[in-house]
């Protein structure tokens, strides 16, 4: 029985669908994780994201793609001028992705631009911020057929509100 399980596992890992790298084509995904701020809002909050992209399968072990994502963070608590405040951040991101595949596993980097909005609230501190700033990240993935699990860290490099880092785990489906 163990021999049959080992043979089935080996067949899955060496199937052409897994070894060819990231699946070529359109994909969609959803993720959840944590967001971390800095400066006045050095706190952690939950984060959720949805995304879609396209992976170009030009070379067997090289993943190249483009992705659009929406990131929505919870409330980061902080202190501004001695007064308690909260910051909520959301972002629409456009990024290019490049990575390497090692069978069903892969690592990648991503870079692009983030159009973000942040709402600061507190006693007399209400203010809306927005901007377009660089975003970049690193990630790892594991793929089984058309479903991929991803773990990634990203940073929005915004001067007005400080860096906003996110760590998310995602599930991706490729069509």
Tens-digit pLDDT profile for residues 9-29: 444 444 333 333 467 899 999
- Which fold does the domain 2-174 belong to in CATH? Porin (2.40.160)
φ/ψ of 80, rounded to 5, equals -120, 120
Say what the pTM is: 0.82
Contact 52, 26 (CB under 8 A): yes
Res 99: pLDDT: 95
Tens-digit pLDDT profile for residues 121-149: 988 889 999 999 999 999 999 999 889 99
Question: How many CA atoms does the CB half-sphere of 149 hold within 13 Å?
Answer: 4
C-alpha angle 74-43-112 in degrees, rounded to nearest 5: 65
CA distances to 39, 88, 105, 113, 145 from 36, in Å? 11, 11, 27, 19, 33
Res 95: pLDDT: 98
End-to-end CA distance of the chain: 34
Largest CA distance in the chain: 69
Please tell me the distance from the alpha carbon of residue 60 to that of residue 72, in angstroms, as a whole number: 34
């Amino acid at each position: 029985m163990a021999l049959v399980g080992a043979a089935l596992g080996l067949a899955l890992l060496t199937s052409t669908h897994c070894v060819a790298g990231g699946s070529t084509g359109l994909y969609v995904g959803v993720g959840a994780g944590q967001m971390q701020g800095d400066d006045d809002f050095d706190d952690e909050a939950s984060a959720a994201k949805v995304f879609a992209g396209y992976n170009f399968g030009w070379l067997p072990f090289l993943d190249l793609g483009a992705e659009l994502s929406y990131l929505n963070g919870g409330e980061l608590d902080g202190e501004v001028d001695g007064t308690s405040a909260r910051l909520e951040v959301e972002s629409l991101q456009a990024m290019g992705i490049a990575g390497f595949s090692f069978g069903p596993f892969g690592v990648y980097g991503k870079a692009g631009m983030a159009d973000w909005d942040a709402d600061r609230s507190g006693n007399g501190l209400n203010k809306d911020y927005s901007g377009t700033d660089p975003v970049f990240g690193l990630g790892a993935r594991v793929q089984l057929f058309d479903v991929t699990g991803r773990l990634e860290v990203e940073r929005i490099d915004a001067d007005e509100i400080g860096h906003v880092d996110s760590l998310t785990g995602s599930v991706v489906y490729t069509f």
